Chain A
Amino acid sequence: MLSKERIDKVLTAALNKGGEFAELFFEKKQSNQLSMESSRLEKVKTGYDLGVGIRVINGEQVSYAYTDDITLDSLLETAKAAGTASKYNEDITINNLQRKNIDSDHQIKIRPETVEKIKKKEILETANNSARNVDQRIQQVMVSYIDYYQQVLIANSTGLLVEDERVRTRMMVNAIASDGEIIQTGRETPGKHVGFELFDEYPPEEVGKKAGEKAITMLEARPAPSRRMPVVVNHGFGGVLFHEACGHGLEADAIQKGSSVYTDRIGEKVANKKVTAIDDATVLNEWGSFVVDDEGYPAEETVLIKDGELTDYMYDYKTAKKEDRESTGNGRRQSYQSQPIPRMTNTFIAPGESKPEDIVSSVDRGLYAKSLSGGQVEPATGDFTFTVAEGYLIEDGEISEPVRNATLVGNGPESLHRITMVGDDLEHAPGMCGKEGQSIPAAVGQPTLLIEELTVGGTEREEG
């Protein structure tokens, strides 16, 4: 990594023109990716990334420059580029860099870079075979595996100097089923802030099997109906609905720009009183966890909504400073090539008291969204569209036949008021979250819950 002396020189150069705050972000990352398709290990890839991003803040203005050449000359030049835009200020000095060592609670048992490639290949083969063995109608299976080991060092002109290591491992299985007429897919994507021990918790044969079964179920499903109805959303990845339709609106940059429906509403009732929503980067070994964020702030738990009342937003350094408060440890970036911005970590709806089966049995006629796939949200309004990857009708309080091609269309803030039952079965699920062109690992989560009314858009043709 970089020596204290070198960091000091670079930060000094960055503030040469008089910025208020300078920061250096060093990153070294090794990543591995294997992908299997048609039962062949087609792509095996290793990446080595190394670079430094330098940020200078002056009032509201931020300038950022990065380089992948970490010689002192290049770093000084990059620092100068980052400092150029600053207007002249009074003398700002760099506080003495104080190295902070923070122990990680996120124990990594089997570091992926120590695992032989052939072992990784075996994991893929097992999941592949298991998905194919589900049914003859499984036509294709794609399995991919990714791990990375990222070392970061963050230093800034307030004297902060801190390091962190993040290890993440994930597998993705996509099974495609066809009966000659219809094609449907099933997807499973476990991943955590862990090493190769991921597969003790998620054995590859089970992951493959689940994906295969999901595809077959959807193949046998009939088209979903279109109308407004109660929707029960299963725990786990169902939390993507909250993440997309509400979570982004609780990030402080959106709040301060007034582009969020939640601006100036702290203390107001924004959800049904059954709803408590939390962002927590300290969840042990969870996909979106870390020890310090990408600005060096310690991971923390932030309660966003408490019993239906809006309590806090997610802040990074810059948005926090604007309100003269502390960052909530939500400053994150994709790599040294990107500026940190307020981002979610592990964001979820907290568990309630209902049993999942009681939630289903409370519905006469509705939809059970067992798993969702992607979705899209209009950030300013919270209007959302989500695709249901695996859905079932609920009839007389019981889960009945599967339906395919259902989409959920609605409005996030409105839907929060319509969550009338919350289960006790909280589960987190990994995802990649995109914002301003930066993709970062973030977990979503929720228990099973009931949205009492939502528009379901299906492809079932009306009779007559």
Chain B
Amino acid sequence: MTEKLDLKQIIAQGEELGVDDIELFHEESSENNIKIYEGEVESLKSANAKGIGIRVFIDDKMGFAYTSNFEEEEIEKTLKEAIANAEVASADEYRTLPEAVAEVEELDLYSEDLAAVKLEDKIQLVLDLEKAALEYDERIASVDTVGYGDSEVEIRIVNSKGFDKSYRKNQCYAYSYVIAREGEDTETGMAITYGDSVAELTPQKTGEEAAENAVNLLGGQPVDSQEVPVVFPPKVGSMFMYVLSQALTAEAVQKGKSVFAQKVGERVAAKEVNIIDNGLLEEGLATSPFDSEGVPSTETEIIKEGELQTFLYDTYTANKAEMESTGNASRGSYRGIPSVAPSNFYLGAGDKSAEEVLASVDKGFYVMKVSGLVTGGANPISGDFSVGATGRWIENGELTKPVREITIAGNLIDFLQDIDLIGNNLKFNPMIGSYATPTFRVKSLAISGS
């Protein structure tokens, strides 16, 4: 429907109204979701949406407005509102649009196969997933939620600096959330599979994995408070990457909200640790040729061999620090103003297998779930974290009894310094964005239990 809306015309209209610069973020998207309950389709959802976000710059002041209504008078109202918003904003010489680039990377982000999959085939996939979970073990009491989703989005950015590019991508995923019961005891488990096409999804394996996660935790008890080595599989490790990434953006640093401020060039982690953000990574979930303000995506080594190299920048924070943008401007949708955020953010793989990492621990804790971490249990400013945890006890390199109702606490910097063994099984966790780690070991963490 882009042809209905003449974006260049809106740019001209803005310039006539006296803006110094103007940017249009145009988005069209569609999505499909299926949920199954007890072998029947419980809900189907299909949607088409479009919208435009208008950002204007006047005398170093920025204003923003968006609308999903493309009628001419509505667009004009939105443009004028963006201008009125700029008028009350504080002047800030670093608020600029990036200089336009001529070329961006050609990425293959769109699968015709996925776009062509029939509804019945998607439904069958979810039915298979539900069945796999239920049949795994008789203690699986129910599959609480099992579903499939796919989405397609086309983004076009046009600005008064001459940038005018677009890309299209689609993705799909399926997940299940199961409940296991034994006597009075209840536990939950979840697993997710994702890919560029339905063929890449693994309903059987994912169903079994969700069930296994729940069953293995039945009968968990707290352990005594102590300090022990802790092993993090990708699912939980990636959640720590999320917290870490919040403290590694230039915005957090410039606003005094990062435990890493003033530490560039210092050893902030063990020598084995490499933390990377790569917006071009093929297997990532947040891959795109350019970021949300039209800067080409790049690979950024943030921590290299334990040493802090740089932070993540968008145009604004880069201007302020006299650096180059790392292509990390992000907005959730056309409704948002861009700000710095990670793209595909991960702990680089090591050379041990996940089994070797586990086998290395005589007595320790294998974390399978944490609670409270991404909802305030970790403080990116101080680096302190304290989270609820569930998992299994490790003895002589093997998983033994389930453990629950304990907390693990520490500081992010100590955590990074104490990572002493890293696996080679890098895996993304799509539940919280695009974050990944392999299985890794932290030498010592404080556990408080009974």
A residues in contact (CB < 8 Å) with B: 34, 37-38, 40-51, 60-69, 81-82, 85, 117-118, 121, 139-140, 176, 178, 182-185, 226, 257-259, 261, 337, 339, 373-381, 383-387, 405-407, 409-411, 455, 457-459, 461-462
The answer to whether A261 and B186 touch across the interface, beta carbons within 8 angstroms, is yes
| Residue in chain A with minimal CB distance to B388 | A385
B448 on interface, CB distance cutoff 8 Å: yes
Tell which of A67, A140, A226, A259 touches B144, judged by Cβ atoms closer than 8 Å. Answer: A259
CB proximity of A213 to chain B, nearest CB, Å: 18
The answer to whether A62 and B42 touch across the interface, beta carbons within 8 angstroms, is yes
The answer to whether B386 and A458 touch across the interface, beta carbons within 8 angstroms, is yes
The answer to whether A183 and B379 touch across the interface, beta carbons within 8 angstroms, is yes
The answer to whether B375 and A376 touch across the interface, beta carbons within 8 angstroms, is yes
The answer to whether A405 and B384 touch across the interface, beta carbons within 8 angstroms, is yes
The answer to whether B257 and A457 touch across the interface, beta carbons within 8 angstroms, is no
| Residue in chain A with minimal CB distance to B48 | A67
B105 on interface, CB distance cutoff 8 Å: no
CB proximity of A237 to chain B, nearest CB, Å: 12
User: How many Å lie between the Cα of A185 and that of B376 in the bound state?
Assistant: 11
B173 on interface, CB distance cutoff 8 Å: no
The answer to whether A374 and B179 touch across the interface, beta carbons within 8 angstroms, is no
User: How many Å lie between the Cα of A58 and that of B78 in the bound state?
Assistant: 40
The answer to whether A61 and B42 touch across the interface, beta carbons within 8 angstroms, is yes
Enumerate B377-407 residues with CB–CB distance to A below 8 Å.
377, 379, 381-382, 384, 386-388, 404-407
Residues of B within 8 A of A38 (CB): 255
CB proximity of A161 to chain B, nearest CB, Å: 23
The answer to whether A140 and B407 touch across the interface, beta carbons within 8 angstroms, is no
B359 on interface, CB distance cutoff 8 Å: no
User: How many Å lie between the Cα of A226 and that of B375 in the bound state?
Assistant: 20
CB proximity of A420 to chain B, nearest CB, Å: 21
User: How many Å lie between the Cα of A65 and that of B409 in the bound state?
Assistant: 45
| Residue in chain B with minimal CB distance to A61 | B41
* 16 more CB-based (< 8 A) A-B contacts, given A226-B225, A380-B186, A381-B186: A43-B64, A46-B65, A47-B335, A81-B46, A178-B381, A185-B381, A226-B448, A257-B37, A374-B377, A376-B388, A380-B179, A380-B187, A385-B371, A407-B388, A410-B405, A457-B448
CB proximity of A42 to chain B, nearest CB, Å: 7
Tell which of A48, A257, A374, A407 touches B407, judged by Cβ atoms closer than 8 Å. Answer: A407
Q: A48-B68, A68-B69, A184-B382 are in contact. Are A376 and B372 (CB under 8 A)?
A: yes
| Residue in chain A with minimal CB distance to B339 | A43
Residues of B within 8 A of A41 (CB): 88-90
B256 on interface, CB distance cutoff 8 Å: yes
Tell which of B44, B69, B446 touches A48, judged by Cβ atoms closer than 8 Å. Answer: B69
Tell which of A34, A226, A387 touches B372, judged by Cβ atoms closer than 8 Å. Answer: A387
CB proximity of A280 to chain B, nearest CB, Å: 26
The answer to whether A68 and B89 touch across the interface, beta carbons within 8 angstroms, is no
B residues in contact (CB < 8 Å) with A: 37, 40-51, 62-69, 74, 77-78, 81-82, 84-90, 92, 141-142, 144, 179, 186-188, 225, 255-257, 259, 335, 337, 369, 371-373, 375-377, 379, 381-382, 384, 386-388, 404-407, 409, 446, 448
Best-buried of A50, A339, A457 by chain B (most CB within 10 Å): A457
| Residue in chain B with minimal CB distance to A119 | B88
Q: A62-B42, A226-B407, A257-B142 are in contact. Are A48 and B67 (CB under 8 A)?
A: yes
Best-buried of B37, B371, B373, B387 by chain A (most CB within 10 Å): B371
User: How many Å lie between the Cα of A133 and that of B85 in the bound state?
Assistant: 28
User: How many Å lie between the Cα of A61 and that of B74 in the bound state?
Assistant: 37
Q: A183-B381, A226-B448 are in contact. Are A63 and B45 (CB under 8 A)?
A: yes
The answer to whether A43 and B337 touch across the interface, beta carbons within 8 angstroms, is yes
Tell which of A45, A60, A176 touches B40, judged by Cβ atoms closer than 8 Å. Answer: A60
Residues of A within 8 A of B186 (CB): 261, 380-381
The answer to whether A65 and B47 touch across the interface, beta carbons within 8 angstroms, is yes
CB proximity of B45 to chain A, nearest CB, Å: 5
CB proximity of A379 to chain B, nearest CB, Å: 8
User: How many Å lie between the Cα of A458 and that of B386 in the bound state?
Assistant: 7
The answer to whether B43 and A61 touch across the interface, beta carbons within 8 angstroms, is yes
CB proximity of B390 to chain A, nearest CB, Å: 8
| Residue in chain B with minimal CB distance to A386 | B372
Q: A48-B78, A183-B379 are in contact. Are A457 and B45 (CB under 8 A)?
A: no
Query: Can you pick out 8 interface pairs between chain A and chain B where the beta carbons lie within 8 Å of each other?
Result: A44-B88, A46-B78, A61-B43, A376-B372, A380-B188, A385-B388, A409-B405, A455-B405
Tell which of A62, A68, A374, A411 touches B375, judged by Cβ atoms closer than 8 Å. Answer: A374
Tell which of A178, A261, A411 touches B256, judged by Cβ atoms closer than 8 Å. Answer: A178
The answer to whether B89 and A44 touch across the interface, beta carbons within 8 angstroms, is yes
Residues of A within 8 A of B256 (CB): 139-140, 176, 178
| Residue in chain B with minimal CB distance to A45 | B64
Tell which of A46, A139, A259, A339 touches B179, judged by Cβ atoms closer than 8 Å. Answer: A259
The answer to whether B44 and A63 touch across the interface, beta carbons within 8 angstroms, is yes
Residues of B within 8 A of A184 (CB): 382
The answer to whether A64 and B65 touch across the interface, beta carbons within 8 angstroms, is no
| Overall SS of chain A's interface | strand
Residues of A within 8 A of B257 (CB): 140, 176
Q: A37-B255, A48-B69 are in contact. Are A375 and B85 (CB under 8 A)?
A: no
| Residue in chain A with minimal CB distance to B389 | A385
User: How many Å lie between the Cα of A380 and that of B180 in the bound state?
Assistant: 10
The answer to whether A48 and B43 touch across the interface, beta carbons within 8 angstroms, is no
The answer to whether B225 and A377 touch across the interface, beta carbons within 8 angstroms, is no
Best-buried of B84, B256, B382, B448 by chain A (most CB within 10 Å): B448
The answer to whether B82 and A65 touch across the interface, beta carbons within 8 angstroms, is no
User: How many Å lie between the Cα of A43 and that of B382 in the bound state?
Assistant: 26
The answer to whether B68 and A85 touch across the interface, beta carbons within 8 angstroms, is no
The answer to whether A409 and B388 touch across the interface, beta carbons within 8 angstroms, is yes
User: How many Å lie between the Cα of A409 and that of B49 in the bound state?
Assistant: 41
Residues of B within 8 A of A51 (CB): 49, 68
The answer to whether B49 and A337 touch across the interface, beta carbons within 8 angstroms, is yes
| Residue in chain A with minimal CB distance to B66 | A47
The answer to whether B404 and A40 touch across the interface, beta carbons within 8 angstroms, is no
Residues of B within 8 A of A185 (CB): 379, 381
User: How many Å lie between the Cα of A62 and that of B371 in the bound state?
Assistant: 32
Residues of B within 8 A of A34 (CB): 88
Residues of B within 8 A of A458 (CB): 386, 409, 448
The answer to whether B337 and A45 touch across the interface, beta carbons within 8 angstroms, is yes
Q: A44-B64, A226-B225, A387-B376 are in contact. Are A377 and B90 (CB under 8 A)?
A: no
Residues of B within 8 A of A69 (CB): 48, 50
User: How many Å lie between the Cα of A385 and that of B409 in the bound state?
Assistant: 13
CB proximity of B5 to chain A, nearest CB, Å: 12
The answer to whether B40 and A61 touch across the interface, beta carbons within 8 angstroms, is yes
The answer to whether B66 and A383 touch across the interface, beta carbons within 8 angstroms, is no
CB proximity of A142 to chain B, nearest CB, Å: 8
The answer to whether A387 and B81 touch across the interface, beta carbons within 8 angstroms, is no
CB proximity of A40 to chain B, nearest CB, Å: 4
User: How many Å lie between the Cα of A140 and that of B381 in the bound state?
Assistant: 11
Sort A-B residue pairs by CB-CB distance and give the 8 closest, nearest first: A385-B388, A457-B407, A374-B376, A374-B375, A385-B372, A40-B90, A44-B85, A68-B68
Tell which of A45, A49, A380, A383 touches B388, judged by Cβ atoms closer than 8 Å. Answer: A383
| Residue in chain B with minimal CB distance to A455 | B405
The answer to whether B384 and A459 touch across the interface, beta carbons within 8 angstroms, is yes
User: How many Å lie between the Cα of A88 and that of B85 in the bound state?
Assistant: 52
User: How many Å lie between the Cα of A152 and that of B118 in the bound state?
Assistant: 34
User: How many Å lie between the Cα of A385 and that of B408 in the bound state?
Assistant: 12
User: How many Å lie between the Cα of A44 and that of B64 in the bound state?
Assistant: 6
Residues of B within 8 A of A258 (CB): 141-142, 179
User: How many Å lie between the Cα of A383 and that of B43 in the bound state?
Assistant: 28
The answer to whether A65 and B335 touch across the interface, beta carbons within 8 angstroms, is no
Tell which of A45, A383, A405 touches B65, judged by Cβ atoms closer than 8 Å. Answer: A45
The answer to whether A60 and B371 touch across the interface, beta carbons within 8 angstroms, is no
Best-buried of B64, B255, B407 by chain A (most CB within 10 Å): B407
| Residue in chain B with minimal CB distance to A434 | B375
Residues of B within 8 A of A261 (CB): 186
CB proximity of A407 to chain B, nearest CB, Å: 5
The answer to whether B144 and A257 touch across the interface, beta carbons within 8 angstroms, is yes
CB proximity of B125 to chain A, nearest CB, Å: 16
The answer to whether A64 and B43 touch across the interface, beta carbons within 8 angstroms, is yes
